[in-house]
Amino acid sequence: MQFTAAQIAMMINGRVEGNPETAVGSFGKIEEAQPGQLSFLANPKYEEFLYTTGASIIIINEAQELKQPVSAALIKVPDAYSAFATLLDKYQQIQRQQLSGIQQPVYIAATAKTGEQVFIGAFAYLGEKVVVGNGVKIYPNAFIGDHVVIGDNSIIHPGVKIYHDCVIGKNVTIHAGTVIGSDGFGFAPQADGTLKKVPQIGNVIVEDGVEIGANTTIDRATIGSTLIKAGAKLDNLLQIAHNVEVGNNSVIAAQSGISGSTKIGNNVMIGGQVGIVGHIKIADGTKINAQSGVSKSIKTPNSAVTGSPAFDYTSALRSQAASRNLPELEKRVMELEKMLKEMMARNNF
């Protein structure tokens, strides 16, 4: 599939400098791209490759100043990284539009309903009273439990398991191996020391525009719903416990774990391997550094925290700096003690 610089510029609202009829058929990293490929430059540390790359078309920032001639056709945009992401999304949509129909073998319950232009891959399972919207892509080996609803244009990748009664919004992407709606971790201690399972009768609701990475688990609520709000982006290998709420446009990086009933606000950024205890609240705009352990609510919006237990990011950096100086401080204290003893001896104290 070939696109000219002029066509690409129209897709991303860019301005062409060079030959607008230059055509490309694939993508390449700027340091490795070959003729016939499109690349982009957003990070200044890769600027040297702008003048040596073999790429035929390059998307760059409007503010980028050229230090020497460039052989490729340039498409100038306000934000090259964002524009490139938009272009990749459009390219992916074109590819996915070619997928349609129902492969065999599959199991689709007689009471299930599917919309127009859906794709259901081989060995997929759709349970009783499932509702699948228009343009949905369900890849092979996916399991869709009874009464699940999947909104228009959502993508369910291979091996995803969505348990009964869960609701998936529009334009949601769920990557391979993820489990939505498994039982929350609820057990009641008994007098004889055994643990009695607490039935988990709620569900999971994933709102519009959410993306969930591979092998993530999101537990169903004990009562009510575990809620992933619109626009949230969840990485691979996450554990989201029962009755958790993740706010609009919040981002959680890989290997983090959110304990039960914790409420995460909007536009929160959580680094990798963060652990958050249950039944607390994280204020809007909070940033939590990687490997932090959050043991109490963060009530001030737009806070930044780090460490375990996590506390204010700037204070934590000062504490780390002070810790590095401890050996030198100890040496100075010992010298001062020695001087003090000598002074006391000289003065008969």
Q: Express each pLDDT in 65-77 by its tens digit.
A: 999 999 999 999 9
Going by pLDDT thresholds of 50, 70 and 90, the confidence category of residue 81 is: very high
Q: Concatenated DSSP letters for 19-50?
A: -TT-EE-EE--TTT--TTEEEEE-SGGGGGGG
Q: At what angle do helices 313-324 and 326-346 cross, to 10 degrees?
A: 50
* Mean pLDDT value across residues 306-332: 81
pLDDT at residue 348, as a whole number:
73
pLDDT at residue 349, as a whole number:
67
Q: Tell me the percentage of the chain whose pLDDT exceeds 90.
A: 83
Going by pLDDT thresholds of 50, 70 and 90, the confidence category of residue 18 is: very high
State the Cα–Cα distance between residues 242 and 144, nearest whole angstrom: 20
Which residue type is seen at 210?
V
pLDDT at residue 345, as a whole number:
81
For the chain, state the CA radius of gyration: 27
Provide the token pair at 64.
Answer: 């980028």
Task: Read off φ and ψ for residue 274, nearest 5 degrees.
Answer: -80, 140
State the Cα–Cα distance between residues 104 and 117, nearest whole angstrom: 17
Q: Tell me the percentage of the chain whose pLDDT exceeds 70.
A: 99
Q: Express each pLDDT in 90-105 by its tens digit.
A: 888 777 767 889 999 9
pLDDT beyond 90 at 31: yes
Provide the token pair at 349.
Answer: 């104290």
C-alpha distances in angstroms, 42 versus 19, 34, 61, 95, 255? 22, 19, 7, 25, 28
* Mean pLDDT value across residues 340-348: 82
Which of 221-225, 252-256, 326-330 has the lowest average pLDDT?
326-330
Between strands 233-234 and 113-114, the pairing is unpaired
Q: Express each pLDDT in 197-227 by its tens digit.
A: 999 999 999 999 999 999 999 999 999 999 9
Q: Concatenated DSSP letters for 114-165?
A: E-TT-EE-TT-EE-TT-EE-TT-EE-TT-EE-TT-EE-TT-EE-TT-EE-TT
Residue 321: other Cβ atoms inside 10 A: 9
pLDDT beyond 90 at 327: no
Catalytic residues: 242
Q: Express each pLDDT in 153-182 by its tens digit.
A: 999 999 999 999 999 999 999 999 999 999
pLDDT at residue 75, as a whole number:
97
Between strands 233-234 and 211-212, the pairing is parallel
Domain boundaries, the chain: 3-97, 160-309, 315-346
pLDDT beyond 70 at 45: yes
Which of these CATH numbers, 3.40.710.10, 3.40.30.10, 3.40.228.10, 3.40.1390.10, describes 3-97? Answer: 3.40.1390.10
Residue 314: other Cβ atoms inside 10 A: 10
Q: Are 316 and 299 within 8 A, CB to CB?
A: no
pLDDT at residue 299, as a whole number:
96
Select the more confidently predicted residue: 345 or 39.
Answer: 39
Q: Assign a CATH topology to domain 160-309.
A: UDP N-Acetylglucosamine Acyltransferase; domain 1 (2.160.10)
* Average predicted confidence (pLDDT) for the chain: 94
pLDDT beyond 90 at 126: yes
pLDDT at residue 89, as a whole number:
86
Provide the token pair at 138.
Answer: 């369900």
Q: Express each pLDDT in 269-315 by its tens digit.
A: 999 999 999 999 999 999 999 999 999 999 999 999 998 888 687 87
Return the residue matching tokens 């919004």: 169
* Mean pLDDT value across residues 137-158: 97
Per this entry, what is the length of the chain?
349
Select the more confidently predicted residue: 318 or 46.
Answer: 46
pLDDT beyond 90 at 117: yes
